[in-house]
Structure 1
Amino acid sequence: MSPFDAQPTPEIFTLNEGRKLGLSRHRLYRSGLEIPFHRLRTTPTADPNEDEDATRFSNSEYARTLSRQDPSLVISHQTAAETWGMWLPARMQTTQIHLSRVRGKAGIPRYRETVGHFIRAGVRDVRDIGGFRITSPEWTWVDLASQRLTVDELVAAGDSLLQRDDGFPRPQTFIGTNPLATKDSVLEVLGRRKGSPGIRNLRLAVDLLRERVDSEPESRLRLKMVDGGWDEPATNPRIRFADGWECDIDLALLRWRIALQYEGKHHFTLEKQYRSDMHRDEQIRARGWEPLRVDSEVFTRQGWQAFGYRLTTAVERQQRQSSWMPFTVGT
């Protein structure tokens, strides 16, 4: 850092932000700072052993900084979805950043490694958050259909907008609080965008959106069960038993009193979580329910076949059961 620079250099910043910090022209243009995008600067990695190909900053971080540099830019499409923390398929991971401008305000954004768009979003469809602009969650969801998502993938992305407010805490890298939208607000935006690319898939997907889904695998499993001919399970209902005990269930087949619990990696690696899951299963079983725990193996061919056998067997057992504790379903 030059002795004339007033403050330490941030890891990522715009030229305007650097000037406001008092960084000299030499520091901004000739001191070895990296230039990932026009008018954007990042400091070189401090770790000489760090993989040169490793990504230091996410697409969202780059996009937020670019939008702060140019207020006419709006973070949109896939990059907006990543910023909101929507559930996207792994195949969509890319280094490209999606930026838009409202049609009639300025030209289409053209930056290296950036996909530019024109949008016809109104004031209510663009949010100003912390100095950067981004399409609303509902508008972003409609835009995702133009990125060739399948109906099931659009359902997962839409479910992520409707998560319960008392569920898992959102990672700090994402913006907003759960739920990001409501079913009605999604329908309202979709109704205004009747000519959007992928509108047929959007109309199919919107009817399949469900509130209170905690994770993308839960969404996928629910859809896979319906496609397989099973009853649609209730998503994260709170079951209250007649003796006063209650619990939340990931996916519940209420007619057969079967509790499906999707186990992520933390369920097996955290001892406290594992003990809690075991206690829950014991309590559910004692009250006449059948707990079934599943993991990512269910999405493989053999895993799905094994799951189908376990579920069929569980239904048969529950059909033979003559008594169970009365319960009510709430949220």
Structure 2
Amino acid sequence: MRRPKPLPPELGDSFHIAQADATGVRRWRRDHRALERPFPGIRSTSAPETFRARVDCYAPRLRAQQCFTGRTAARLWGLPLPWRWHPDEPVEVVVPSDGAPPAVEGVRGCRLGVRRRAASLVDGLPVLDPVPTLFTLAASLTLTEAVVLVDAIITTSVNYPSLDGRCPPADIEGIRAALLRWGRFPGVATIRTALGFAREGVESPKETETRLMIVRAGMPEPVVQHVIRSRGRRLARVDLAYIAERIAIEYEGDHHRTDRAQWGEDIRRQRELEEAGWLVIRLTQHDLGAGRATFIARLRRALASRS
């Protein structure tokens, strides 16, 4: 059996056969059985077993004016989706309204008119911008999931996990303007309603979920990311706060438990807030699920005692 020669380094880990032909790679080499064939016309040095590997393998198939959309686009932007990635999740691609969507196994294609299509490069890949991506996902989102995504898209915080400051700036008015351009589409009512609940400055999906849970329970809406000062010194910026009642609400992700330094910092911060007269109510994922009623009852008592 003929031993395969090394491939030109400019081809990378995955490439289109046309790229191989253009670099002078012989047909037997680019079709060697040692190479994977994740998509028609694509060769890869290894099986794509991660989300990014799947996207990178498909990228050489993209034609002019095509880009990634839907869940694929949202994951590339780092937006918080309610679904974990699974190898069976199709790569989603949008083509111009007069184009033919790809009919390839493992790929979902759709058409989008030029007035609706706005894309940017993410790590060199053409990706539908966050706002139109939100609209393409709208039909599959609950109201809470839609608010979480809008909060992430419009956040002015640099600390939102997974975003890394990559998303183009957007605000509520910009999303409303985009809704006017798009007109009717599946899920538009969900997005319109979500805009009324969205807030700037949010720093995590769980912060959004906590705020919505409180409002739906009939309690006043707490302030997002409130900075607490005492005697001219900044003590903390808390996730949610009732300022007049001096109640701070903090969501604790698992890293608050597993990171010893973070745990110590949390305890120090809580002590200082309590010494300044604040009541600190901490909650976890359990309180957003099975423990919801208990948390809501506790918050009601706290508000009643401090009103």
Task: Decide: shared fold, TM above 0.5.
Answer: yes
Letter of the 1:100 partner, please give it: V
Paired position in structure 2 for 1:102: 96
Partners in 2 of 1:4 and 1:166 — Cα distance?
A: 43
Letter of the 1:66 partner, please give it: Y
Q: What do the CA deviations read for 1:22-42 (whole angstroms, capped 9, x no partner)? A: 654323212321111122222
Q: Relative to structure 1, is the Cα distance of residues 188 and 243 closer, same or farther in structure 2, using a 3 angstrom cutoff? A: same
Partners in 1 of 2:22 and 2:272 — Cα distance?
A: 60
Contact in 1 for aligned 2:42/2:60 (Cα 8 Å)? no
Letter of the 1:15 partner, please give it: I
Partners in 2 of 1:144 and 1:123 — Cα distance?
A: 14
The alignment status of 1:309 with 2:297, answered yes or no, reads yes
Letter of the 1:151 partner, please give it: L
Q: Relative to structure 1, is the Cα distance of residues 130 and 277 closer, same or farther in structure 2, using a 3 angstrom cutoff? A: closer
Q: Relative to structure 1, is the Cα distance of residues 271 and 4 closer, same or farther in structure 2, using a 3 angstrom cutoff? A: closer
Partners in 2 of 1:274 and 1:248 — Cα distance?
A: 16
Partners in 1 of 2:117 and 2:101 — Cα distance?
A: 21
Letter of the 1:114 partner, please give it: V
Q: What do the CA deviations read for 1:162-209 (whole angstroms, capped 9, x no partner)? A: 23333145367xxx5267522222222112112111111111111111
| TM-superposed deviation, 1:61 | 4.2
Partners in 2 of 1:317 and 1:123 — Cα distance?
A: 51
Partners in 1 of 2:109 and 2:167 — Cα distance?
A: 29
Paired position in structure 2 for 1:116: 109
Q: Relative to structure 1, is the Cα distance of residues 143 and 92 closer, same or farther in structure 2, using a 3 angstrom cutoff? A: farther
| TM-superposed deviation, 1:122 | 3.8
Contact in 1 for aligned 2:235/2:273 (Cα 8 Å)? no
Letter of the 1:266 partner, please give it: H
| TM-superposed deviation, 1:92 | 7.6
- Written as runs of structure 1 = structure 2, the 5 A alignment for 1:215-234 is 215-234=204-223
Letter of the 2:119 partner, please give it: V
- Written as runs of structure 1 = structure 2, the 5 A alignment for 1:8-157 is 10-19=12-21, 23-44=25-46, 56-58=49-51, 60-72=52-64, 73-90=66-83, 94-104=88-98, 106-122=99-115, 125-146=118-139, 148-157=140-149
Aligned length: 303
Paired position in structure 2 for 1:188: 177
| TM-superposed deviation, 1:14 | 3.2
Partners in 1 of 2:42 and 2:93 — Cα distance?
A: 15
Letter of the 1:30 partner, please give it: H
Partners in 2 of 1:16 and 1:211 — Cα distance?
A: 46
Contact in 1 for aligned 2:154/2:200 (Cα 8 Å)? yes
Paired position in structure 1 for 2:255: 266
Partners in 2 of 1:239 and 1:246 — Cα distance?
A: 6
Contact in 2 for aligned 1:68/1:131 (Cα 8 Å)? no
Q: Relative to structure 1, is the Cα distance of residues 21 and 278 closer, same or farther in structure 2, using a 3 angstrom cutoff? A: farther
Paired position in structure 2 for 1:48: none
Paired position in structure 1 for 2:306: 318
Q: Relative to structure 1, is the Cα distance of residues 88 and 6 closer, same or farther in structure 2, using a 3 angstrom cutoff? A: closer
Contact in 2 for aligned 1:86/1:161 (Cα 8 Å)? yes
Q: Relative to structure 1, is the Cα distance of residues 232 and 17 closer, same or farther in structure 2, using a 3 angstrom cutoff? A: farther
Contact in 2 for aligned 1:71/1:133 (Cα 8 Å)? no
Paired position in structure 2 for 1:170: 162
| TM-superposed deviation, 1:20 | 6.0
Let me know the Cα RMSD of the aligned residues: 2.6
Contact in 2 for aligned 1:298/1:304 (Cα 8 Å)? yes
Partners in 1 of 2:269 and 2:168 — Cα distance?
A: 26
Q: What do the CA deviations read for 1:76-95 (whole angstroms, capped 9, x no partner)? A: 11211111111111378552
Contact in 2 for aligned 1:16/1:69 (Cα 8 Å)? no
Paired position in structure 1 for 2:283: 294
SS at match of 1:212: coil
Q: What do the CA deviations read for 1:294-314 (whole angstroms, capped 9, x no partner)? A: 00001223x112212321232
| TM-superposed deviation, 1:18 | 4.3
Q: Relative to structure 1, is the Cα distance of residues 272 and 26 closer, same or farther in structure 2, using a 3 angstrom cutoff? A: same
The alignment status of 1:285 with 2:285, answered yes or no, reads no
Question: Among residues 189, 193, 198, which one is paired with 2:187 in the alignment?
Answer: 198
Q: What do the CA deviations read for 1:41-100 (whole angstroms, capped 9, x no partner)? A: 22236xxxxxxxxx7220x54335434432332111121111111111137855212111
Gaps of 5+ in 1: 46-54, 320-331
Identity of aligned residues (%): 25
